[in-house]
Amino acid sequence: MLVNALLAVAVTVAPTAPSAEYELAYSNAVKLEQAQASCMKAAGLQYLPDNIVKSVRTETERKALNGDVKAMRQLRAEEGFGIWSEVKEAETKEHPNDKIVDSLPAAKLKAYKAAQEQCFVKAVKTVLNKDVSSKEDYEQQVDLAIAEAEEELNKDVKLAKLSKSFASCLKIKKAAKPTDVAEAKRKEIIEARTDMAEKQGVTTSDQQRVTAAGEEELPLPKVSEAQVKPLLKKEIKAALDDLECGKDFYAAYEPAAWKLKQKVYAEYGVPFAW
């Protein structure tokens, strides 16, 4: 089984060079933008492709993704699960083509967006050889591919055994899959943050922000730095307690999960940081 092989060679040393998946994901992302621009030009419309930048992580972040518990502890001591720190550090990003879309009169906007959607569908077929009906369908297929990769993790005997002791430490009484146990405490923080945003009437459509590859975009509540501070402090404690319970589990789970996700990102042209 693929996951068993990954677990067998899992190490806690950060790679010294970007993976082949990193390069392919970046290359496919660039080609998707270029293909859309060519398609729109053929339709007599202008499209400004996004500038896909190769992103990098710190050595500590790379070690954490590869199962180094010490590195994970260092990161969690600073930002917990990365939930409330995301609110504090959230930044907006405009696609270069937004300027064109925003300048169009209402009479032309609908036709332009329809052409843009059609060109995206064609680009995905040309570059990735995948059939999608819309950008939304493409995003759903990415989510499904990640979910299927996670199911591979859930089938692994070693991870299942480690997750049972982890779940017991977390006081999770009913049987849970390894992926569910890994996300249990993080999910509680996300749900609390989302609930706050919804009570404020905030939706994802109100925000344009940079999200990590493969991460579901969720509404961010409107909070001050002073309001975030105690919430982040509480999250950090929860994240460190979670890691203490699951350090043996995460040492095996993280590198396997990261390897599988990279394959999905490369396949679908989703650029990710190395």
Distance CA 237, CA 248 (A): 19
Cα–Cα distance, 235 to 273 (Å, whole number)? 24
Q: Could you read off the pLDDT of 123-149 as tens digits, one per residue?
A: 999 999 999 999 999 999 999 999 999
Residue 210 has pLDDT above 50, yes or no: no
**What is residue 5's predicted lDDT score, i.e. its pLDDT?**
42
CA distance 231 to 84: 7
Q: Quick one: tokens of 213?
A: 């590859």
Structure-token pair, residue 136: 């939304």
Rg (CA), the chain: 20
- 218 pLDDT band (50/70/90 cuts)? confident
pLDDT digits (tens, 9 = 90+) for 3-40: 444 444 444 566 778 999 999 999 999 999 999 999 99
**117 pLDDT tier (thresholds 50, 70, 90):** very high
Q: Are 159 and 4 in contact (CB under 8 A)?
A: no
